[in-house]
Structure formats: structure tokens, C-alpha cells
Amino acid sequence: MVKYSVVIGCEVHVQLLTKTKAFCSCENRFGGIPNTRVCPVCLGLPGALPVVNRAMVEYAIKAGLALNCKVASVTKFDRKNYMYPDLPKGYQISQYDIPICYEGYLDIESDGSTRRVRIRRLHMEEDAGKNIHLEDDSGLSYVDFNRCGTPLLEIVSEPDITSPEEAVSYVQGLKEIMLYLEISDCNMEEGSLRCDANINLHIEEGGEVFETPIAEVKNMNSFKAMKNALHYEVERQLKEWREHRYTLKDFGKITRGYDDRTGKTILQRSKEEESDYRYFPEPDLKPILIPEELIREIRQSIGELPREKRKRLISEYGITEKDAKILSSSVALSAYFERAAKGYREPRKIANWVITELGGFLNSEGISIEECNLPPVYIRKLVELIDGGKISGKIAKDVFAEMTRTNSNPEEIVRRKGLSQITDREELQRVVKGVVEGNPKSVADFKGGKDHAFKFLMGQIMKVTRGRANPRIARDILKEMLEDD
Amino acid sequence: MNIIEAPLSELKEMLDNGDISAVEIVRAFRENYERDEREELPLNGYIEFFDDAEKAAQKSDQVRESGDPGILEGLPIAVKDNILISGHEVTCGSAILEGFKAPYSSTVVERLRAEGMIFLGRTNMDEFAMGSTCEYSVYGPSRNPYERNHVTGGSSGGSACVVSAAQAPVALGSETGGSVRLPASFCGIYGLKPTYGSLSRYGLVAFGSSLDQIGILGRVPDDIALVLSVAGGYDPNDSTSANVDFSGIYPLKRMKLKGKRVAIPVEISEEGVDEEIRGKIKVFSDWLTGMGVTVEKISLPVLKLSVAIYYIIAPAEASSNLSRFDGIKYGFRDTTGETLEDLYVRTRTRGFGEEVKRRIFIGNYVLSSGYYDEYYKKAMEVRRLLKGRISELFTKYDFILSPTSPVLPFRIGEKVDDPLSLYLTDICTTFANLASIPALSVPLGLSKKGLPIGLQIAGNMFEEEKLLRVAKLWHEESNF
Ligand SMILES: [Zn+2]
């Protein structure tokens, strides 16, 4: 048995949801007819010059603060030089030695405990276009520049991650925060969240520690792919160590691409082929000064992050971990819940209504919680009506439907429609008596030992009262009457 | 007055008075250009004289008739072939941009057009503005109007040539290390390199982005002021453009010279400077002294480093700026190879000339990892030092005076294979680009052999007007 530990660091690219591109005023949107969302700037035409999109800078600061980073007071852009057909200028505007944010961390859950992954840096850069290779015999390739100039954040972690599962929960944690901050839609399939992982093994043998060559694994397009790819890589490196005993000193860093169909990683580039990006400060853009005031403003706008919120919702309202996770996924949703639940003695029930019924309603209507006009207090009133025995759970669903349709107060609906439960013993006794007298056969069946006849009679009581009979009281009265005889 | 020899101010007056039309102006320049084309050794200042210039002039005459003429209505200008004019080809004097039509216009062109200016044509230049002689053009060298076997200077040689030869009253050029001033000096005209950021670079094909600046060449200081007054100022499309306003500088006011202080740095005005040029500088400084100006020789040793750091910074930025010419999107493409790498290598090998390739190599070298600190970073540190020294100097002096070129215009082909000696022709000019300050080349007269001599006045940041006002006094005095 080889004793080893896994060491992983992640480089995550996140496309930002700014209205316009990073350095021009083209609309920033996924897709479109090739080469229609372009201008001289993002096409890199001769003479065109970049202008920094302020929103990109603010989003970057926001993300950095949410990841507990320090924010540089002065930052700048640099050119990363390499030639590729999808890169129209022959360089990418990126950030090299002064990233906008640095030295942060993200806490993740791993095996029931909390682990801290340090974040080395977070910087801004522009995305490239896309090469399209025709799959016929022509051998032709095309380039679509629509994506070119889309603002990206690159978030680089320290090699603090110790398993493929942790890597996945780290990236999930990043995604949760980006979604919460509403700065990216983090769609791995569409490529608005892309993760490359640097992975190697530290192998203990004979009191010595050997490091295997670092592999940068690319092309992991889902969390599942990430897990598979990294597990494959652990096994591959172990095997390679057993067979060849290659170390980091022998090979340095290699690049491997994950193939989703085979579940394997394939060698793409060895160290010798690594390019020299010849970074230098972007002369077309002035350094950016970030005033304390702006950082403070952005910090205030962030508020409570999903993870803290989750913890607080659980401790403050006693709701389940699962419900807390759903509610904390969006600022608006958790705020809605809290407004509904504030001061109510059974917040779990409110959480349930918000998640299941309201969630279902929003889903079917295709609207977001932000677009929902239903006052949160109505949900509480509805739950109060149930808990106070005023309406049954079944009736409550009808009231809810009416409430969402008309945006009216559930108490009002119950009153107007005469939906409140009949809890009055005398009234119920009259009803039960009528049912018993009207169904002598069922009464006889019951007495003959057929239990299902009781259910039928209860159903009749509900039918007569249009569901308003308090089931507990009605049941007691029915029992009494049937036994009295 | 003869149209082709008239300064803009006079053409403007004649247009205003209805004495001439814009069409007549364009025809006059075209005729002069075409006459020269029939010479045994044409000047070759224009790469293309625009066929649509006359049509633009017709439109301009209509605008004037309708009673709402722009500030520059009907006045013509020639444009260096690295400044984009929508719909016209733009080649930068290079084979690699063969057939490339500008899909948009530069900010400066837009501004001039909006005030009624007419573009006569595209002028010749060293390929991608890399050169000091205008010999490194795929369209062949431009010739010095004073002596056709001599170079015009470069890289804006075509612009200097057409203005000097009365094929245009004024022209736009571009500067990275002296490319407007040097040819202005060699062709006996005025050439202004404005402060970095005074004119938008949007639509100027980049060479050394931190040094590049569109410049203006003319036969009288007022013409330069008039063009600057419209073309200059802040542009939101250029993040490095400055928030300055030149709209009030034309016509140039008279300046009181008495009490002004002028520094002549010995590093760029004595050793290695041609005797005749030194003699003319003396005439100028004596004139200044006579006007009550204090002229002092000073020493600024860091100036000696300016050519060295210029030839690190400019090629470094150029190597990156020129990466986009890869045969993929526009211009020339060599498809004889099999792979993508073949396409890149063959397109660029055939598309770029030798000097451009030389500078790309230098640029890639000084930026490569392991050499960055030693070259590019160090050069930027020296540049900061130089900037500091220069701005210190301007706390005591109003102007820095020197020759524009240490040598007289030389014969075509004389130095073409000696890049180092060509680089040294930039010795007097590069510091202004490195320090981002404005500098003007002023014609001082002719050498014994009839070759023009120029002098350079540099001023503090955004003091273009001050330079032009001194020049105006000299112009009235010298009548050259
Ligand atoms: Zn664009």
C-alpha cells in the first residue's frame, strides 16, 4: 500500500453578467448568430482601443469581498500575448502582477467538518471567441467572435484541496456565491463557469515525501465530470508512480484534457511546449484607483452570504438543513421567508409553505420571487388559520390558490367564501346525525365490522360541509353516535 | 494668391468670400500632384490621392451654400496611411494590410470631417511607422522635394513630402519617436508632436501605444493650430486621452518673449551634431536672446539613454500590437502551408518587411521571461526617471531647444542597411515621446547645399499653444 495525500488547486473562470462586454459597448449575451455581437474593439481591428467597463470592476470587487479577499487600492491590466485564431488581437487583456483581489478564502464542508480553502488571487480578464471546425471533408474552420470580450473573473485557489469531492464542493461553494451575488449564471454546460484543476500526489515512502508531476486538468464541464476526472487522475498518477516513479522534478507541470465519453484524461501539453506569455502592462488603459469609499459601499451591498445565512436560519428558526439551503440560495427568497416567519412560533411550517407551495406556484407561473407580489404576511396568516383550527390543510390549499390568484388576504378569502371550519359541536352533531340517518346501510356495515364504512361516513360529512367540518371533532362525534346505538 | 501655396487661413478667407470653391481647391492640389507623377522621379508622397475628394468638395460647397459651414468647411488635408478613414484602404505602408478597407473612422478624422474638412489622400510612410527615412514602405520611398535623391525623413515622410511640395496645405502624421518632427525638419516645414493624450489615438493603427500620438504637419504655425483646435481634446473611446480643450487656440495670439527662459541640453545639441545645423541653431538662439529671452546651456545626462530605452519600449509594445496581423481576419494571407502554424509563419514572413520583423524580434526578446526585468522593466524605470527630470526642468525653463535631427537629409539608400545609425537619427526627438511632452519642429532655412534644417522646441505637458506662438513669431521673422 502506497501512503499518499492528494493536493489540488483550482483555477475557476466565471463569466460576468454585465450588460456590456469588458472593454466595449457590445451587448454581453450568450450565443447569437456568429459575429453579430461585435464591434471594432472586441474584433481587435487596427486602431481600436479598449475602455474599461466599470460594472466589471465592481462585480470583481463584490466577488472578492464575498470571498474574504483584500482589494487592491490600485490595480492595472496587462497583456497576455499568445496567438490563436479566436483571439483577434493576438493578446488577451488580463491582470498579471497586481490582481484586483487577493488573499481570501472560502470555507467548505467536507465529511461533516468545515475546511478552509485559501484563495490566492482573483482577477479580471476578457474571454476569447470560439473556433468552429466543420465536421465535413472541407477541413474548414471558422471563428465566432461573439463571446470575445466577455468579462471573466479568474479565481485561483491555493493547493489546499485534498480530494476530488472537496474540489467539487469548493467550486459549488464559488457557484453558490456568484449566483447569490447575481454576477454570473455559472452554467458549466454553457461555459459560464469553467474549472481547471492542478492536481498531484504527495507520496510517503521510507520517511520521504515524493511529489508526482502536477497535472493541470481541463475540460471538466460538469461537477460529475470534475469528480470523475480527478478520481481518474489520482489513480493514473498512482499507477505512474508505481511503474516509473516520475516526480515533479522530472516533468514539472503537464496539461491533460478530460474526455467525458471515456472518463479518462489525455495528455495535451508537456512543459517543454509551455508558452511564454510575455506579459507587460496594457498601455491602452490607465491604472485603476479603487477608493475605500467604493469598497465600503460594495461591502455593504453584499450583506449576509449564503453559508452564514444558512447557519443563522437553522439556529434562529429551527428549520431543516435542507430547507435552509434552498431558502439561502437567493437573497429575495430568504428575505421573503424571514418576513413571513418573523415572530411566528412555528417557522418550520412557514418554510414548508414558502418552499413547496409558493415555490411550486412560482415555478408553474415561470416568475421569480422578485416578481411575486404576494405579501409574505399572507403566508403567515394562512398558516395561522390552519394552526388555529380555522381551516383544514386541504381547504388551505384552495385558499392559497385563491390568494395567489387575487393577491388577497387569506382571512378575507375564508370569510368571504365561508370556508372557515365548523368546530361548533352542536352544529356538527346536527350534520353527523343527518348523515347517520341518511345512510343506514353503511351504519349497518360498520356495526357488522366493516371498518371502511366509517371512512365513507366521514367522507359524507365532509361532502355535506364542503370540507369545512373539523375532522377531529367530526370523527369524535361520529364515533360516539355509532357506539351509542 | 496661388491656391496650392496658400495657408489654410487664406483658403478659408477665400472660401468665405466666395472667391473660390472647395472643388477648385481639390482640383488645384490634384493637378499639382498629377503633374509631379509625370516627373522622372515622382515624389511619391501619396499612396493614393482619393478619387472621391472632389465629390466630397462638391458636397462641402453645397453645405456652404446652405449657410451652415463648419469651421474647416472645404479645407483639405492629407492623412498618413495609418489613420483610419472609413471606406478607404489603410495599409500602414505594409503588404500585410493589402486590400484592407477601414470599417470605421478614427476619432480625429471624424472630428475634422464633422467640421467640413476634405481628405485628399493617404500618404506614404515607413511600414507601421517603423523607420526614420520613409524608405521602409512597400510602396517605395518618398522623395525629398528639395533634393529628390534624398530621403524625406520618416516615418511620416509622405505627409511631410506632400505639404512641402504643395500637394496639400496640411497633413496628419503620427509620432512614436520623432516620426512627424524628423520628416518636417528634412522637408523644411513645421511638424507638431502634441502631448501624449492631446489627440485621440482611436483609429490610429498602434505601434508603441504608450508613445504614439497623432501629429500635424503644416507650412505655417497657424495652420497647425487650426487643425489642432478641431481635432484635439478628450475622447471617451481612448482611455489615455486627456481632458484638454484646444478650441480657442486659433488664430494664434502674439506672444511676449521677453523674460522667457530656454534650456539647450548639451547632450543632444553638440556632440555628433552637424556643424551647419549647429550654426542655424545659434542663429535662432541669438534671435531669442535679442527678444529678451534667457538662453542657457544645460546638462541632462539621462537624455543620453533615451534612444536606448526607446528601442526597448517601442518594439516591445509593437511586438504585441502587431500580433493581430495574422492572416486570419483581414489583409494578406499565405495559404500555401498545411497547418495553422504555417499560416501564421508564412503570412507574417511574407507580409512584414525586414525592419518590422527586426523590431518584432527585439520586442519579443525584451518581453520574454527571464529578460523582462533586465530590459523592459528597467527601461520603464529609466523612463520614469527621465519624465521626472524633464518636469523638474520645466519648473525653471519654458522651453527645451535642440536640433530636430543631428544630421542633414541624406541620400536614399545611404543608410538603409545600417539600422543602428538610422536609430541614432532619433537621438534628439525620442525624449519628448518618452516624457509625453509636446515638441515642434521649426524650419530654420537651408544648408549650403540647399537641404532644409530644423530645430526642435519642446514644452511642458499640454503647452502646444505656447510652442506654436513662439513659432509664429519666428515664422514672421524668418519668412522661410
Ligand atoms: Zn464589441
pLDDT of residue B397: 98
Q: Which secondary-structure segment (H or E) carries A195? A: strand A193-205
Task: Tell me the chain B residues in contact with residue A83 when contact means C-beta distances shorter than 8 Å.
Answer: 323, 326, 344
B155 in catalytic set:
yes
Q: Tell me how close the Cα of A83 comes to any Cα of chain B, in angstroms.
A: 7
H-helix segments, A262-330: 292-302, 306-317, 321-327
B80 Cα distance to chain centroid: 8
For residue range B166-197, list pLDDT tens digits in order.
999 999 999 999 999 999 999 999 999 999 99
Longest dimension (CA), chain A: 101
Give the C-alpha separation, A103 to B52, whole Å: 60
Domain check: are A236 and A362 in the same one?
no
Q: Tell me how close the Cα of B324 comes to any Cα of chain A, in angstroms.
A: 4
The three grid cell numbers given for residue A239, joined into one nine-digit string? 499507477
**Are B442 and B224 within 8 A, CB to CB?**
no
Boundaries of domain holding A476: 425-484
Do B103 and A40 make contact, defined as CB atoms within 8 angstroms?
Answer: yes
In a domain, A87, yes or no: yes
Asked if pLDDT for residue B153 goes beyond 90, the answer is yes
pLDDT of residue A273: 67
Query: Structural domains in chain B?
Result: 1-480 (3.90.1300.10)
| CB burial string A319-332: b at 16+ within 10 A, e below | beeebbbbbbebbe
In a domain, A298, yes or no: no
pLDDT of residue A481: 85
Domain check: are A263 and A123 in the same one?
yes
B368 in catalytic set:
no
Ligand 1 mean position to A295 CA, how many Å?
A: 28
CATH number at residue A432: 1.10.10.410
User: Domain ends where: A416, A444, A475?
Assistant: A416
For residue range B73-114, list pLDDT tens digits in order.
999 999 999 999 999 999 999 999 989 999 999 999 999 999
Residue numbers of chain A with a pLDDT score lower than 70: 272-274, 484-485
In a domain, A164, yes or no: yes
Question: Which residue reads 538662439 in cell numbers?
Answer: B285
Domain check: are A179 and A100 in the same one?
yes
Residues for chain B: how many in total? 480
**Distance from the first to the final alpha carbon of chain A:** 79
Ligand 1 mean position to B201 CA, how many Å?
A: 17
For residue range B342-378, list pLDDT tens digits in order.
999 999 999 999 999 999 999 999 999 889 999 999 9
Domain check: are A391 and A317 in the same one?
yes
Could you please report the per-residue DSSP string of B126-187? SGGG--SSS-S-TT----BTTBTTB---SSSHHHHHHHHTTS-SEEEEEESSSTTHHHHHHT
Rounded to 10 deg, the angle between the A471-484 and A452-464 helix axes is: 120
Beta-strand runs (E) in A111-192 = 113-126, 130-133, 141-144, 151-157
Count of domains for chain A:
3
The three grid cell numbers given for residue B317, joined into one nine-digit string? 509594445
**Who's near A243: CB < 8 A, 6+ residues apart?**
none
Identity of the amino acid at A188: M
Domain check: are A440 and A411 in the same one?
no
In a domain, A317, yes or no: yes
- Mean pLDDT within B333-343: 94
Domain check: are A405 and A478 in the same one?
no
Domain check: are A247 and A320 in the same one?
no
Domain check: are A273 and A320 in the same one?
no
Mutate to test the interface with B, among A94, A145, A275, A284 (most CBs of B within 10 A): A284
**Are B459 and B474 within 8 A, CB to CB?**
no
CB contact A397 to B (< 8 Å): no
A206 burial via Cβ count (<10 Å: 0-12, 13-18, 19+): exposed
Domain check: are A412 and A432 in the same one?
no
Identity of the amino acid at B467: L
In a domain, A294, yes or no: no
Domain check: are A402 and A347 in the same one?
yes
Could you please report the per-residue DSSP string of B23-82? HHHHHHHHHHHHHHHTSSS----EEEE-TTHHHHHHHHHHHHHTT---TTTT-EEEEETT
pLDDT of residue B405: 97
Please state, as a whole number, how many other Cβ atoms lie within 10 Å of the Cβ of residue A31: 10
Domain check: are A470 and A342 in the same one?
no
User: Domain ends where: A393, A416, A439?
Assistant: A416
**Are A40 and B225 within 8 A, CB to CB?**
no
CB contact B86 to A (< 8 Å): no
The three grid cell numbers given for residue B416, joined into one nine-digit string? 538603409
Task: Please give the ipTM for the structure prediction.
Answer: 0.96
- Mean pLDDT within B21-28: 98
Domain check: are A258 and A352 in the same one?
no
Strand, coil or helix: what is A217? strand
Task: Tell me the chain B residues in contact with residue A89 when contact means C-beta distances shorter than 8 Å.
Answer: 323-324
In a domain, A34, yes or no: yes
Do B320 and A91 make contact, defined as CB atoms within 8 angstroms?
Answer: yes
Strand, coil or helix: what is B125? coil
The three grid cell numbers given for residue A234, joined into one nine-digit string? 489520482
pLDDT of residue A20: 97
Strand, coil or helix: what is A267? strand
User: Domain ends where: A394, A416, A438?
Assistant: A416
C-alpha distances out from residue B455 to B119, B163, B284, B443, Å? 29, 18, 9, 6
Interstrand relation of B399-403 and B261-265 (parallel, antiparallel or unpaired): parallel
